[in-house]
Amino acid sequence: MGKSYQHLLWEEISREKVQDCKIFDYYKAKRVSPSGYHSDITLLDSPNSVTVISIVENDEGEECFLMVRQFRHGTSEVTLEFPAGLVDAGEEPKVAALREFAEETGYFSDSIVELGHVCPNPAYLNNFNYTFLIKKPEYRGLEKFDSGEFLELVKYPVKDFDRLVGEGEFANGMMMISYLFYLKWLRGASK
């Protein structure tokens, strides 16, 4: 990076695990600002996650994103999302992406490219979401949903996708960031 930001770093005095919440651990930390201000901080320690973008043709020969429709408990709504999931302990994000993609869609491929990664909310989360593009997927079936997953596979036309962003069932922020990574990759691939 070149430039030092040491003057902005807070010092951690203590950290206590408050609760194990299955997909994240909840911590309370005490930190001191560079100016000496003491603050209690809430932190969530969560596994990394992956989002997978892939394109297939529908029965009419249109290019479509492979997506899943599912109920989301946080908003109590049905969403339309790219296949996604958590990275298991000790698992590389690329391996998790291939696994999640196969489990949720029944499609497989050996051709995978990382498009980018972001921290969903660095204010209190420590994890990263990695976006991958899977090329030339082949349907083999064998979907394997987790016990709490109820998904519907959707082929959504690429040409209609821009108007969907941020509307109705496509309001998941991580999906929009993944789509932005895809558009950035497309611009770079066309050069």
98-129 pLDDT per residue, tens: 999 999 999 999 899 999 999 999 999 999 99
pTM over 0.85: yes
Q: What is the pLDDT of residue 85?
A: 94
Q: Which helix (H) or strand (E) holds 169?
A: none
Kindly indicate the confidence band of residue 1, based on its pLDDT and cuts at 50, 70 and 90: very low
pLDDT at position 143 = 66
Please tell me the least confidently modeled range out of 9-23, 35-49, 138-152: 138-152
User: Is the pLDDT reported for residue 150 higher than 90?
Assistant: no
- Percent of the chain at pLDDT > 70 equals 94
Q: What does the domain layout of the chain look like in residue ranges?
A: 6-45, 49-189
Q: Each residue of 35-45: pLDDT tens digit?
A: 999 999 999 99
CATH class, 49-189 region: alpha beta
- Calpha distance 114→134 (Å, rounded): 9
Residue 86 has pLDDT above 70, yes or no: yes
Q: Which amino acid is at 18?
A: V
Q: Which residues contact 100 (CB under 8 A, 6 or more apart)?
A: 50, 52, 83, 84, 85
